[in-house]
Amino acid sequence: MYNATDRVKALLRPELQQLSVYHVPPATNFIKLDAMENPYDWPEELVNEWLQRLRTVKPNRYPDPSSAALCAALVSSFNIPAESALLLGNGSDELIQIILMAIAGQDAVVLAPEPTFVMYRQIAIGLGLRFEGVPLRSDDFSLDMPAMIAAIETLRPAVIFLAYPNNPTGNLFRRDEIEQILALSPGLVVVDEAYAAFTDSSFMPLLPEFPNLLVMRTLSKQGLAGLRLGYMAGDPGLIAEFNKLRLPYNINILTQASAELALAHAPVFDAQVRLIREQRRWLLARLNEIASIRTYPSEANFITFRVLSMSAIDVFNGLRDAGILIKNLDPAGGLLSGCLRVTVGTPEENRIFVDELHRVII
């Protein structure tokens, strides 16, 4: 029987119907180490100041459409070059969508090394663009430069996405290789620095040197995940074109007020980032003591590891049964077969995770 759902589906693009929803599992009553969040709450005194700030906000009015005060705070806080312009998004996902909506031609190619952030592929296909992935090297998840160069020369991609550090592998690609890609690319190169807080390397200072470079970041990993704020810096002419596709008032009034306050208290979040980086070193050392797993170096706030002695799903399920939620990368297959990813938590969360991992895996 041909029902209403069938009639609607007949109107949709076939490639859209082949996509899967980005699934986020429920995490109530779990130690949540699956989503790369900052595990530390805001200090009570900052929460009190935040609540006082929100008392001055007028939710019956639209927010500043240009987020001018917030943009100024971001430029000041993160040393964005004076020659560059800024575009804000409801998380970096919206910025990815805006970039790809702007690309001319349904046969335009979007390129990225894989495995990487799944939304590059998801959004490109959702918009009817051609996405091409270039496999990373299997031994260390580094760029396969001969394959990347061949893909650039053959496919002439309109956009290349490079997560730096890469998600879900955690590693930094070599700077000289990214600069080579920037020089060879006929289109845009988006360096996605979502985890910039957890590494000392950035392409933000290189924006004036490469007119085809866009640097994208988010505040989600630094303690503001619930605010959904991403930003992108690049050539003012490019940013002006992308701004035409930004929906009006995309950064709501509560996010603007809250993020401005958080940036004014940067030392609080900087201290939390230092704790996370210290705990990343501790956690990596503890995981390296387990002979039946292989860890991969990380410059992000998570660690990816491969299970060698048993199935990854059994380890994932054993940890979940113990009340610990991490990310199961194994279903993606390919280079991620047998892999799991754990977010760096608080010292207590990390200790419990390591203890339970020993129990499950040994």
Options 3.30.420.40, 3.90.1150.10, 3.40.50.200, 3.20.20.70; CATH for 4-43+267-361 is 3.90.1150.10
- Which of 35, 28, 22, 33 has the alpha carbon at shortest distance from 319? 33
pLDDT score recorded for residue 178: 98
- Domain coordinates of the chain in residue numbers? 4-43+267-361, 58-265
Residue 15 is predicted with a pLDDT of 66
How many residues in total does the chain contain? 362
Q: What is the pLDDT of residue 9?
A: 66
Structure pTM? 0.94
DSSP 40: P
Domains 4-43+267-361 and 58-265 share a fold: no
Q: Which residues pair with 229 in a beta bridge?
A: none
pLDDT for position 22: 58
- What stretches in the chain show pLDDT beneath 70? 1-13, 15-27
The answer to whether the beta carbons of residues 216 and 119 sit under 8 Å apart is no
pLDDT of residue 76: 94
Query: How far apart are alpha carbons 136 and 339 in whole angstroms?
Result: 15
Contact (Cβ atoms closer than 8 angstroms) between residue 124 and residue 100 = yes
CA distance 251 to 74: 14
Instruction: Let me know if domain 58-265 sits in CATH 3.40.190.10.
Output: no
The answer to whether residues 124 and 110 touch, using CB atoms and an 8 Å cutoff, is yes
What does DSSP assign to residue 244?
A: T
pLDDT given at position 106? 74
- pLDDT in the model for residue 264: 97
**According to the model, what pLDDT value does residue 151 have?**
98
**CA gap 83, 235 in Å, rounded:** 7
